[in-house]
Structure 1
Amino acid sequence: MNSKLNCIIIDDEKHAVDLLTDYIDAMPDLHLVKSFTDPLKALIEITAEDKVDILFMDIDMPGMTGLDLSQAIRFKTKYLVFTSAHSKYAIDAFGVQANEYLLKPISMSKFALTINRLLQSDTGLRNEEKHPDYFFIRADQSQKYIKVNLKDLIAVEALNNYVKIHTVNGIYVTYLTIKEVAEKLDGNSSFMRVQRSFIISMDFISKVEGASITLSNKLEVPLGTTYKKQFLTFLEEMTLKTVRGVPN
């Protein structure tokens, strides 16, 4: 499977096309599919089969401007990058959902930084696809499954070989270990293990008193010694502070 991003260049100046072609060839994550010096020809010949990831397009072109052309073919590409010698079109460019605006002359370093931003965005989207914002649990009946949305998940409580799932819609008990749930939530900054038997959602904390955490459903969770430092660091970072001196 080809993991490279497919690119198309549209620019009426041949030397500009040649320059971007060289830059694309130098980037291991990019692959040039087609290039055009005639925007009208590009309008006709770019198809859904091209599977375009990045479209590099000039704005000032004879016959049809890049801004006009983008309105016709924007849906055919994941990312749209305008390349122009004029900064005056920048606002209009983002008005047609451009992702980047490269001002000519374009250096290799400027080009590489732009691609790096797009690749980071692409990786983020792929990660979101791999980590859906919900999971299913099996209820007491063997053929009954309950969907748990992460935005509704308040806490997970260990009960020997089972866990109690506290949500805004109710409480469910299922045959899982807290370790298995922790692995599912790994990498999600909204959840933290605060005790050997509890994982909580930071979004549902109502108050913290000493070593006791109260959640929005009135559940009180004791803060475990092993997890205390991590939780207090979070609390310190999220606490609003004044720059004024301590009152008398």
Structure 2
Amino acid sequence: MIRTLIVDDVPLARDKLRHLLAVHADIDIRGEAADVEQARHLLQHQTVDLLLLDIQMPGQDGMQLAQRLPAPAPLVIFTTAHARHAVDSYALGAVDYLLKPLDGMRLALALERVRRQLVQPPPSTPQPLCIRNGAGIEYIPVGDIDYIDNAGHYACVHVGRQVHLLRESIGRLAQQLAPAGFLQVQRAVIVNLARVRSLQHRRNGDATLLLLDGTALPLSRSHRDAFDQAIAQRG
């Protein structure tokens, strides 16, 4: 059973959520809250697997609650009438961002994501990247890699200020490193999602990713859906 807490200041909105959730036999509604203070009180006294969380409420908003969830933190699906917080919500690890009026089919897809995350096995330790050089082989822990781009026939593996050259295709590296949290964001760029700090919109659906060290990387619109989904699934 998925222990669920509904947080919304509008009684009719909470009623609709209960109605939409009634068809999901594995959803166990443990309580409701009309504001962040009530939600925090309920979270202190019981374990919850999932928050269905509105954003604009009296007092503190839902984003502030999501930023300071008690451990173990529940998964979060935002339910709101406003689209402007979507990118920030995924940066917080939200499973999904649903716009009101809520649609039963769209909610069902979000709940399926929740189920997958709750049963997800712990990730195995990724093998280091082996890079041959003149003196032998260097083993680079994949968690230390910021991003990878290419130069001619070589992949450039960026680790802080160091750049290691590897004769391998970007496509093959993207497949190899995907289980470790890497994603192809341009035809010739792979990024470690754990290094992404923020996203800035550009024209025509393209965007720029800013990494923790200030590096700016392009995110093409053809890879945008995959990026949004990967960020949402990180949790």
Q: What TM-score, normalized to structure 2?
A: 0.50
Greater Rg by CA: 1
Relative contact order: is structure 1 or structure 2 higher (C-alpha 8 Å, sep ≥ 6)? 2
- Normalization by structure 1: what TM-score? 0.47
